[in-house]
Amino acid sequence: MVSSETKKKEILAVLVIGVLMSAIDITIVILALPTIDLNLHAGVATSIWIIMAYILVITVLSTQVGKLGDKFGRAKMYNYGIAIFVIGSALCGLSPDILSLIGFRAVQAVGGALLSTSSTAVVSDNFEPHERGRAFGYTALGWNLGSIMGIFLGGLLTTINWRLIFLINVPIGIALLPISMKRLSDVREKIKERFDLIGSFLLGTGLFILTIMAVHSIYSGIDVNALLMLVASSIFFALFILREKEISFGVIDLRIFKNRIFSFSVLASMLQSTASFAVLFILILYLQGVRGLSPFLASIYLLPGYALGAVVGPKMGRISDRIGSRLPATAGLFIMLIGYTSYILLLNPVSPIYYVALITIITGIGLGMFFPPNISAIMANAPHDKYGMASGINRTFGNVGMVMSFVIALTAISVSIPRADVLSIFLGTKIGGLSASVDASFMNGLHTAFIASAVMLVLAMLMSASRGKEDRRQITKEREQ
């Protein structure tokens, strides 16, 4: 056993609070965007970067900081993540203008990358393979509770002062850091190989160009410039793979993808992220653009899904520890697909608005069934000396899926109304601004986006069902030998 049961509980408590802090920041920022626009005199084209700068930095850095954790210590990287996240949050709260805020969000995202990637690796360090589903279930609980708290706090704090949405992280982080430094320690031997700077540059540049291409597509559609950036990112990825094949100390050990369960689980995670983030985007557009709700009220209708996900996650994690991840994760995706199909069939400009809340219960249960088993399968089938790298790979793939879901949904919807209007509705700066004559065509665009998300979810189900059977206790026994 890696750690005593009491120490495991203490470690899990520290990780859950860190995840909760990060989750609060995501939902609370979306709710505050209209107020930030007003106070900092920013337009939609600029303020969207408050979200995208965070996503961009996390996407580019996740794999690299995962490798740093393997080399220098995952618990140490987690603690650095708390410190940087707190500093970034304080700077965001004190920002004098919109450009400063976007830059400080990038600083905050460095801490977020360290937190999210290292937390998964720390769980894997301190829990045996047949115990990790339960542990990841509790980190999922922290994520869902943080999302719920972000909605309520966002509605409250923005009425007082928008800067509080960032400054609220500061006392939480300051209180958490000394506890984390005391309770978390690196229990596995650090790898002693060199860090591949050339490989990091190639991978980071490829991810950077790909993310910029996605942001460009959000504003301008998939045009010639977007295709050129896609080609450029593909060239950097190809050069990166060639580089990794030639050296023994690469950023990513490509041999890890030979494990079918690992590689198919990562792909399922990416496809699920592509599907689910788009649905969140679409629902906010529906509730704000078609039904005329404020960002706060729109978010309230999404709470049942977060609440059910929080309840289901730990239970499904325990089940996956006993029977493996393939069945519960695939069943979770299927339940999510039922929810997505319900959105397609039931939502229209005059349907009862509580349908949204009821359907989020279905999708929340499905997400709670999918996430803990899937991430535990990824980490159980990764080499123990490369947990940071494995977590970084999963986080990077998931973030790429999240960004691309934005592009897919926006491309489908913008056939009906201008892209600028879509972004204004999402950011809450244009509420109820659609005429009745536009509602019908806008709903057609939303349904098309829902269908695209459903297709992504079907592909995720195929990956999940095809990953292969696993025996967690057998994995534990093999590593003890």
Residue 68 CB neighbours (<10 A): 24
C-alpha triplet 105, 111, 115: angle, nearest 5°: 135
The burial of 481, by beta-carbon neighbours within 10 Å (0-12 exposed, 13-18 middle, 19 or more buried), is given as exposed
Contact 63, 121 (CB under 8 A): no
DSSP string, 86-141: HHHHHHHHT-SSHHHHHHHHHHHHHHHHHHHHHHHHHHHHHS-GGGHHHHHHHHHH
Of 153, 116, 88, nearest to 19 by C-alpha is: 116
Q: Is 246 helix (H, G, I), strand (E, B) or coil?
A: helix
Contact 339, 356 (CB under 8 A): no
pLDDT digits (tens, 9 = 90+) for 65-74: 888 888 888 8
Tokens of 377: 């399968």
Helix axes 74-93, 44-72, angle to 10 degrees: 160
pLDDT at 1: 42
Each residue's pLDDT, cut to its tens digit, for the chain (481 residues) gives 445 777 888 888 898 888 888 888 777 887 777 788 888 887 767 877 888 888 888 888 888 888 888 888 888 999 999 999 999 999 999 999 999 999 999 999 999 889 888 888 888 888 887 788 888 888 888 887 887 888 778 777 878 888 998 998 899 999 999 999 988 887 766 666 677 788 888 888 888 898 888 878 777 777 899 899 999 999 999 998 898 888 877 777 788 888 899 999 999 999 999 998 878 778 877 887 778 887 778 788 888 888 888 888 888 888 888 888 899 999 999 999 999 999 999 988 889 999 999 999 999 999 889 988 898 888 888 887 788 888 888 888 888 888 888 788 878 777 777 777 777 776 666 655 555 555 667 788 888 888 989 999 999 999 999 988 876 666 656 555 5
pLDDT at 431: 56
d(CA 42, CA 53): 15
d(CA 258, CA 61): 24
Contact 153, 24 (CB under 8 A): yes
d(CA 150, CA 45): 24
- Taken as a whole, the chain contains a residue count of 481
Contact 340, 453 (CB under 8 A): yes
Kindly state the helix (H) or strand (E) to which residue 36 belongs, with its residue range: helix 5-40
Integer angstrom CA distances of residue 282 from 267, 288, 380, 417, 430: 23, 10, 34, 14, 15
Residue 354: phi and psi, rounded to 5, are -70, -10
Place of tokens 């349904």: 447
Of 130, 164, 140, nearest to 35 by C-alpha is: 164
Q: What share of the chain is helix, strand, coil (3-state, %, to 5)?
A: 85, 0, 15
pLDDT at 236: 93
Residue 430 CB neighbours (<10 A): 18
Q: How far is CA 404 from the centre of its chain?
A: 12
d(CA 128, CA 473): 9
Q: Which amino acid is at 174?
A: I
- Predicted model pTM: 0.83
Alpha helices, H only, 247-259: none
pLDDT at 99: 92
Of 28, 10, 50, 17, nearest to 174 by C-alpha is: 17
Structural domains of the chain sorted by starting position, each given as residue range(s) with its CATH number in brackets: 5-195+249-480 (1.20.1250.20), 196-248 (no CATH)
